[in-house]
Amino acid sequence: MRMAVVLIAVTVACGLAVGEPVFVADFEGAEDGGPVGWSFERRRGDCSGEWDRAEPPPGGSSIRCDVTENAAARATWTCTRRIALKPDTAYRLSFRVMLGDVSEGSKGAYVILYENGEPSPDFWHMSRFMRGTQDRHEREISFITRPDASWGRLQCRLWECTGHAWFDDIAIEQIDRDEVRVQGAGAPLVLPEDEADQGRRLRQEDMLSCDELPAVFSR
């Protein structure tokens, strides 16, 4: 019995060390014919979104964005729940994604989180644009929230390109600040004109990507 208590204590300590998820979406539950807590929006042009209950097989579910012809279209899945966030706190946002013939458009497939729902570079955290064809793989970004952060709005997108993108197993967990992944300075990136002030630019370290980190950070 005493050993059992010790083992439980160690397990709990390890669980706290890696952080408990504050948000999880596996798209298994149904509501009004779609995934619980998510809605699809046609932000621009001819596009569609589906709750795909056949991917990943066997028996999995995911959300899918489809843009077949109009490379200016913007397909967007939005989480309808406000995700509780703490101010000045480190988080990791991880997800699985699968790409099908995503063209080399001006953007691509990506995930974005807005602190306090504000559509501004000072409030958002986003993955890099993903293009091409690739089977299910993991991506993640990590960040520290603003001092005034209290909640987040999460979206999965396929914007201004053609192709198909599946998103699944999304999780947000609190992490230690020293776990936030940073990379060296690089060439500046031009932000979408409709989501930033004209001429506003971010450097590469402001948009983190797992596959572009130094090898020492690899899984």
Residue 19: inside a domain, yes or no?
Answer: no
Nearest-angstrom CA–CA distance, 50 and 34: 8
User: Do 71 and 162 touch, CB atoms closer than 8 A?
Assistant: yes
83-120 confidence digits (pLDDT tens) = 999 999 999 999 999 999 999 999 999 999 999 999 99
| Residue 123 DSSP symbol | T
Average pLDDT value for residue range 3-28: 58
Residue 15: inside a domain, yes or no?
Answer: no
Measure Cα distances from 152 to 7, 78, 208 in Å: 36, 11, 18
Q: Which residue range is the domain that position 90 belongs to?
A: 24-213
Task: Report the chain's terminal Cα–Cα distance, integer Å.
Answer: 36
Residue 18: inside a domain, yes or no?
Answer: no
Nearest-angstrom CA–CA distance, 210 and 219: 9
146-204 confidence digits (pLDDT tens) = 999 999 999 999 999 999 999 999 999 999 999 998 643 333 334 444 444 433 333 33
Residue 219: inside a domain, yes or no?
Answer: no
Residue 35: inside a domain, yes or no?
Answer: yes
What's the structural domain count of the chain?
Answer: 1
116-142 confidence digits (pLDDT tens) = 999 999 999 999 999 999 999 999 999
CATH code at position 141: 2.60.120.260
